[in-house]
């Protein structure tokens, strides 16, 4: 891999991978580890064609697998020994992060589908393919996640959030 290729991959996908790690582990230190491990894995991996949706989906799959591997090992971190400060620093939400915190409070199986659907914009069948579960289960998890978010955020806030988002979209021109 050339330096230019590495720079392109990092520029296009590092933030996405960090967010996947953050969604899984709810803390930024593990998210940083996920990011580092994913990009080191990519060095020895044959990637799909540059810049395609297949490439993006492939890297998401690698990130999810790294998260699974890390979660298995993380289970053993009974105590923290000598602290090795992380090499990478991450900017964290500093202002109102109510919705993010509500999503992060959900169990992993819900957080994961919420991230892939609401952030990455994947449909049910694409998510099913990414995380290797049945489409019906993805739909169920999304529905249950919405229900839980409605409880966590409150009905009013939930609806208000949508209308606020709609206004924001009008102003900012988001899709």
Interface residues toward other proteins, by CB under 8 A = 1, 3, 6-7, 10-11, 14-15, 18-19, 22-23, 28, 31, 35-36, 39-40, 42-44, 68-69, 71-73, 75-79, 81-94, 96-100, 103, 107-109, 114-115, 118-119, 133, 137, 149, 153, 158, 161-162, 164-165, 168-169, 174
Nearest approach in angstroms of CB 85 to other proteins is 3
Nearest approach in angstroms of CB 112 to other proteins is 9
Q: Which of 91, 100, 123 is nearest to 15 (CA)?
A: 91
- 40 or 151: CB nearest other proteins: 40
Cα–Cα distance, 50 to 163 (Å, whole number)? 37
Long-range contacts of the stretch 155-161 (C-beta < 8 A, 24+): 157/98, 161/99
Cα–Cα distance, 12 to 50 (Å, whole number)? 11
Nearest approach in angstroms of CB 158 to other proteins is 6
Three-state DSSP state, 95: coil
């Amino acid at each position: 891999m050339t330096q230019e290729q590495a720079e392109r991959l990092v520029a296009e996908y590092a933030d996405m991978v960090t967010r996947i790690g953050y969604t899984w582990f709810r803390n930024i230190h593990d998210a940083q580890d996920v990011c580092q491990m994913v990009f080191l894995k990519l060095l020895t991996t044959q990637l799909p064609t540059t810049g395609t949706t297949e490439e993006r989906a492939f890297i998401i799959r690698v990130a999810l697998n790294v998260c699974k591997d890390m979660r298995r090992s993380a289970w053993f971190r009974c105590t923290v020994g000598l602290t090795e400060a992380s090499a990478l620093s991450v900017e964290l939400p500093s202002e109102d992060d109510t919705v993010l915190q509500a999503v992060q409070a959900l169990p992993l199986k819900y957080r994961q589908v919420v991230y892939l659907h609401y952030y990455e914009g994947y449909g049910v069948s694409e998510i099913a393919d990414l995380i290797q579960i049945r489409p019906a289960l993805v739909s169920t998890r999304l529905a249950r996640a919405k229900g839980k978010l409605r409880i966590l955020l409150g009905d009013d806030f939930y609806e208000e959030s949508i209308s606020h988002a709609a206004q924001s979209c009008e102003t900012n021109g988001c899709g």
